[in-house]
Structures are given as C-alpha cells and as structure tokens.
Amino acid sequence: MRSSIATYRESLSRIANEVLDTADELESPRSRLTEGESPASARRLPRRLSRISPLTGSPTANGVDSGPQDEIAKYKADILKLQASEAEIRALSVNYAAILMEKEEQLSKLREENGSLRKSFEASALHPSRDESHKTLTNSSNALKGNSEHSPGRRQRHFSQENSHSTGNHTPKSNVPKQDGLSNGAIQKHANSHGNGKEGPEERQLNESYLSNINDLKMDKERSSIELKELRKELNEKISELRQLDAELKKRVMEQESNISLENAKNMIVTLEKENAKLKIEKDDLEQNLKLHVQSTSEKAVDTTEDVEKMILSIKRLEEELIDTRKGRDKALQELARLKQHLLEKELEDSDKMDEDSKMIEDLRANCEQQRAHVMQLEKALRQEIAKKEELKKLKTDELRDSNETISDLKQKLANCMSIVNSKNVELLNLQTALGQYYAESEAKVANQELVIAKREKEEIAAKLAQTERMLSEGKNFIQKLEEDNTKLRHALEQSVTTLNRMSLDSDNHVDRRIVIKLLVTYFQRNHSKEVLDLMVRMLGFTEQDKQSIGFAQHAAGKGVVRGVLGLPGRLVGGILGGSSPETSSRVASDNQTYGLIFFLKKLKKERRGNLRRRPAPKAGGARARHWSMDQSYRVVFPVHLPDK
C-alpha cells in the first residue's frame, strides 16, 4: 500500500516537472522569434527534414540549422512522457482498485469474524456468567468509543484517498453497507434481547452507547463518500487540464510548422535538388550494378530469378521515390509562390499571436504554480493518511488482541460448560438405569397382579365348567326323557294313524259341518273368490257337470287359501281333501306333511283333553266312550300316508 502511494506521488511530481519543462521550453522559441528569426523556420523545417533524413542519412551535412528540430523533438518527447504518465496513472488506478478489493475482502472477513464473535458472545450471554460478559461488553464499548473518537476524519480521508484512484470499485461499496446493516441488526437484536430480559440500567446505557457508535459510523461513512466524490471531481479536473495543455502544445507545434520562412523553403528546395541528383547518381550506379549482376548471374539460371525480381522491385521503388521527390519539389515551388504572398499577412498575425502567447505562458506558469502547491498539499495529505493508517493498524491490533482474549475466555467457559454437560449426561445415564430398574419392578408387579387375576379367572372358569358339565348332564338326562316321550308319542301316533285309517274307510263320504260353514263364510267374505270356490269343489267332490253348471274354471293357485280358511297348512288340507287318487296320495307323502300331521294330532289331543275335562266321561266301557268322543268331535276323514321307516 505504501509503495503504491509512493509511486503515485512520484508520478504526480513527474507530471508537474514535465509541465514546468514544457512551459520553459515554450519560452525559448519565442525568444528566438523576438531576435528576428521567423516562426515558420521553427516548424515546417523539421517535418521536411524528417522526410529527407531517411534518404540522406546525414541531415546536418546539408548545412541546415537543427535548433527547431531539437525543440520539436523535445515537444514530442514531452507529449510521449505525458502519455506514458497517463498510462502509469491508469495502471496505478487499476492497482489501487485491486488493492481496494483486497482491503475490502479483508474488511468483510473481519466483519464476518466479528459477527461470529458477537453470535458466540450472545450465546454465552444467556449463560449464568453475566458478570464476565458485562466486563467484555464494557471493554468493547470503550474500544468502540475510542475508535469513534479518533477514527472519523481519518477514515474519511483514508476511504476518499483509496476510492479516488479506483475505477471499478462500486460493487465492494455496495457490499459494505449491507454488511454494516447486518452487523447493526445483530447489535440491535443484542440490545433488544438485553432490554427485554429486564436487566440493569448499566446494560441499557451500553446498548445506547452501541447505537450512538453505530450512528456515528454511519455519519462517518456518508462524509467519506462525499469527500470521495469531491476528490474524484478534482482528479477529473486535473486530467482535463492536462489534456488541455497537451492540446495547446499540439496547436503550438502546428502553428510553428505552418510558419515556415522563405529562406528555409529555398534551403529545402536546394537540399531536395541535391538529393535528387544523388538519387540519380545512385540510380545509375544501381543500373550498372544490375547489369553487372545480370551478366555475372546469367550462367546461374536457377538462382537468378529471385534476385532479378528483387532488383526490379528495388528499381521500381526507387523510381517511385524519385517521382515522389519531384512531386515534392513541385509542391515546394508552389508553396514558395503561395508563401511569398502569405508571408506579409503572417508577419502581422505573428505580432498579435506573440502577445496572446505571452499571456498564455503567464497563465500556464500560474497553473503550474497552483499544481505545485496542490501536489505539496497532496504529499502532506499522503503523509497524514500514512500516519492515520498506522494508527488504525495499531487500533485494529489492539482490538484483535482484545477479541482473542475474549475468545480464549469464551473457550474456557465452553470447556467448563462441556464438563458440566458431561457430568449431567452421566447423571442422566444413572437416572435412566434407575428408571429402567423401576420400570422392570413395576412390570414385575403388574405381571404378578395379572397372574393372580388369571388364577382367579381360571378358578371361575373351572367352576363355570363344572356347572356347565352339570347342566350338560342334566340336559342329557332331559334329552333321554324327551326321547322316551318321543318314542311313546310315536307309538301313540302309529296307533292313532291306524285308528284314523280305519275311520277313513267308513267316512269317505262325510264332511264336517263346521268346515262347510267356514268355507261358505270365507267365500262370501272374499267376494266370491275363485280359490275358495276351487277348495269347495275339491272338498265336496263336485262332478264335471256340477262344475260346468257353476261356471267354474280350474286354477292352479288354491293351496294358499287352505291355511287361511282352516288354520292348517295348505299341503296338509290338500292331502286331506285330495280324494282317493293314487297320484295325489303319493305326492302328499313328504316330510312336511308328517310334521303338519304331528301338529294337527297334538292340536286334536289338546282339544280332546279339553272336551274330556268339560264333559265327564260316561261310566260305560272305556273303549266305547273313547270312540264316541272322537266320533262326535271330528267326523273328518284324513287320508294320510306316513312315510315308511
């Protein structure tokens, strides 16, 4: 950084010296012009001599005065020096931009480190050790106060000095405020967290001091940016002044070249004629050499073609140069005629220009003195900035030392916290083992309780099983009794069936009066239903003539009405009333008919018992009385066929 500043200072001093040298050199041709030498002799001649010099190789041998040529060469050298100095300034600006980028990267790294330290500090502030954090806060606040007291002006000049020479440093500047904003936000969060924690007034004062320091830093940044803009404007003005000086020098050179005197033009014509003669002599020599060379190289046909072409090209080139010199001679003669007429006018204009040039020289001297004073001021500012940078480095080293100390303290605290955490982990493991034992004991207790409950349930289940076995034995006994009753009932059924078969043989043509009444009542209740009519026809045994006289059409749906009429299953009544055909008797012989018959017999038995209870039996023979009761109660014939066993 110091070497780059030193090179910049040297370049500025070099530019100032060159400007002063150009001002002094501008005075020398004016003094010559005042002695009687025309201004045209100082300008046009060097240009012509520069054209002629490569041909002759010795311009001083012609007797031409080399003073104006040296002056023009000096001017050109000065212009080249100025251009070189501009290139150096640009290179220095690029170097400054790179250095600024490096410095800003370092600053960003430092800011990141500070942010990490602040985060760790905030994390440690939540720990019980508030006294030590309070001390570190006070130390950092005092350091910040010292920086804010000493650094504002120095930072402003430092940033303005560095940024004034950089051309492509807009992006780092845009990054700096963002990082400052992030750090400010972190500090404000830290202050808010301490304020919300209902801490003492000292910490609130520290937070207020932090905020005031942040505001001071923002103001310093704004001031430094303003000064940087001003310095950039000054640098642009200096560059524009240098360009104006360069343009004035070029104008002066062009004016001096346009003011060639008549004598110099004559001398130029003489020199041109001499050179023309020399060229002719050289041409003759070359032609002779060419002829000799052609004669000597005629035997070597293979190697001579290229040399001949080269010689022809050189001859053509020499002829073109001769034509150019002739044209130049003609132009010089024309210019002589023109200059003779223009010389009187130029002599009058030269007097006016001399006055203007003297004024311009005085202005340039004043500008040079101002630039010297400005360069001195810049050197002083550079020295001050170097001293300020050294002080800033010292302050930064102190801050880094303090931060390293705080880091070491925080590391010690972290080690203590880690030891505490390890001890807590050991305690937690012990508690987990104790809790596992407790869980095992509780599970054992629960298992014992469940075992006791299972034993009780087992005993209850055993008691229930014994009870169910007892009930099962009772059920078996009851089933045996029922089977015995069933066998008895089967015997009684067989006997009743035999009696019914015997009775059916005698009562084929007899129908109970109650059945006929029931059929007629249902027939009229159901509005002359054909099903009821079909049942009546079947039960009463109508002939075909009787059916035709009634107008009966036989239908297939007659079985469902029998249940509604008699309260018995349709198949049973159909079997009862189906006549004596073998087809109907075989169709009715099924399991359902047997069950219906059993039901019907049970009903008959109940009714018979009721009748016997209501009517006392006669004292006559038992078989006769029983036959009378059955004959009087039911005179229905049941042609029932039980299944074979």
Q: What is the pLDDT of residues 574-601, one digit of tens each?
A: 444 444 343 433 343 344 444 445 555 6
Please count the CA atoms within 13 angstroms of the CA of 260 that sit on its side-chain side. Answer: 25
* pLDDT of residue 5 exceeding 70: no
If asked whether residues 537 and 399 sit together in one domain, one would say no
If asked whether residues 424 and 522 sit together in one domain, one would say no
C-alpha distances in Å from residue 113, one per residue of 124, 203, 380, 392, 395:
16, 23, 35, 18, 17
Give the per-residue pLDDT at 558: 41
Those residues whose C-beta lies under 8 Å from the C-beta of residue 167, and which sit 6 or more positions away, are 93, 94, 97
If asked whether residues 72 and 181 sit together in one domain, one would say yes
Q: What angle do CA 436, 440, 443 make, to 5 degrees?
A: 135
pLDDT mean over 285-296: 69
pLDDT mean over 75-91: 73
Q: What is the pLDDT confidence band of residue 463, given thresholds at 50, 70 and 90?
A: very high
If asked whether residues 422 and 524 sit together in one domain, one would say no
Q: What is the pLDDT confidence band of residue 15, given thresholds at 50, 70 and 90?
A: low
CA 301 to chain centre: 80
If asked whether residues 522 and 415 sit together in one domain, one would say no
**DSSP state, residue 126:** T
pLDDT digits (tens, 9 = 90+) for 33-56: 444 444 444 444 344 434 333 333
Evaluate whether 601 touches 638 at the Cβ level (below 8 Å). Answer: no
pLDDT mean over 54-80: 56
Asked, for residue 468, whether it belongs to a domain, the answer is no
If asked whether residues 515 and 391 sit together in one domain, one would say no
Element (H, E) at 165: none
State the maximum Cα–Cα separation within the chain, in Å, rounded to a whole number.
202
CA dist 512 and 596 (Å) reads 20
CA dist 486 and 489 (Å) reads 5
Q: How many other CB atoms sit within 10 Å of the CB of residue 558?
A: 20
Evaluate whether 275 touches 55 at the Cβ level (below 8 Å). Answer: yes
Q: Which one, of 287, 321, 293, lies nearest residue 306 by Cα?
A: 293
Asked, for residue 473, whether it belongs to a domain, the answer is no
If asked whether residues 408 and 515 sit together in one domain, one would say no
If asked whether residues 407 and 516 sit together in one domain, one would say no
Of 386, 409, 428, the domain-final residue: 428
pLDDT mean over 22-29: 54
* pLDDT of residue 165 exceeding 70: no
Evaluate whether 335 touches 317 at the Cβ level (below 8 Å). Answer: no
Evaluate whether 294 touches 77 at the Cβ level (below 8 Å). Answer: no
C-alpha distances in Å from residue 329, one per residue of 4, 62, 316, 562:
54, 17, 20, 160
pLDDT digits (tens, 9 = 90+) for 610-619: 665 665 544 4
pLDDT digits (tens, 9 = 90+) for 337-388: 777 777 777 777 777 877 787 788 888 878 878 888 888 888 888 888 888 8
If asked whether residues 558 and 424 sit together in one domain, one would say no
**DSSP state, residue 197:** T
CA dist 598 and 632 (Å) reads 21
Give the per-residue pLDDT at 258: 61
Evaluate whether 249 touches 78 at the Cβ level (below 8 Å). Answer: yes
Asked, for residue 258, whether it belongs to a domain, the answer is yes
- Report helix, strand or coil for 444: helix
Q: How many folded domains does the chain comprise?
A: 2
Q: Which one, of 181, 182, 180, 176, lies nearest residue 105 by Cα?
A: 176
Q: What's the pTM value of the predicted model, to 2 decimals?
A: 0.20
If asked whether residues 150 and 290 sit together in one domain, one would say yes
Mean pLDDT of the chain: 66
pLDDT digits (tens, 9 = 90+) for 400-428: 889 889 898 999 999 999 999 999 999 99
CA dist 547 and 557 (Å) reads 17
Give the per-residue pLDDT at 303: 55
Between 374 and 429, whose confidence is greater?
Answer: 429
Give the per-residue pLDDT at 188: 47
Of 402, 428, 454, the domain-final residue: 428
pLDDT digits (tens, 9 = 90+) for 621-636: 343 333 333 333 333 3
Q: Which residue has the tokens 């109940």?
A: 606
Evaluate whether 92 touches 4 at the Cβ level (below 8 Å). Answer: yes
Asked, for residue 548, whether it belongs to a domain, the answer is yes
CA dist 154 and 132 (Å) reads 33
Q: Which residue has the tokens 């020398």?
A: 28
Give the per-residue pLDDT at 624: 38
Give the per-residue pLDDT at 315: 78
Asked, for residue 80, whether it belongs to a domain, the answer is yes
Asked, for residue 462, whether it belongs to a domain, the answer is no
CA 547 to chain centre: 102
pLDDT mean over 563-583: 40
pLDDT mean over 226-239: 75
Q: Which residue has the tokens 């960003």?
A: 108
* pLDDT of residue 459 exceeding 80: yes
CA dist 130 and 136 (Å) reads 10
**DSSP state, residue 60:** G
Asked, for residue 639, whether it belongs to a domain, the answer is no
For the chain, percent of residues with pLDDT exceeding 70: 54
**Helices 201-258 and 301-506, interaxial angle, to 10°?**
140
pLDDT digits (tens, 9 = 90+) for 98-142: 777 777 787 778 778 777 777 776 776 655 444 444 444 444 444
* pLDDT of residue 32 exceeding 70: no
pLDDT digits (tens, 9 = 90+) for 233-264: 777 777 777 777 777 777 776 666 666 555 66
Asked, for residue 98, whether it belongs to a domain, the answer is yes
Task: Kindly state the tokens that stand for 291.
Answer: 């002829």
If asked whether residues 208 and 59 sit together in one domain, one would say yes
Of 375, 408, 428, the domain-final residue: 428
CA dist 211 and 217 (Å) reads 10
Buried b (16+ CB within 10 A) or exposed e, 64-95: beebbbebbeebeebbebbeebbebbeebbeb
Element (H, E) at 300: none
Task: Kindly state the tokens that stand for 379.
Answer: 């050197």
* pLDDT of residue 450 exceeding 60: yes
If asked whether residues 412 and 549 sit together in one domain, one would say no
Domain that holds residue 321: 2-428
CA dist 541 and 528 (Å) reads 19
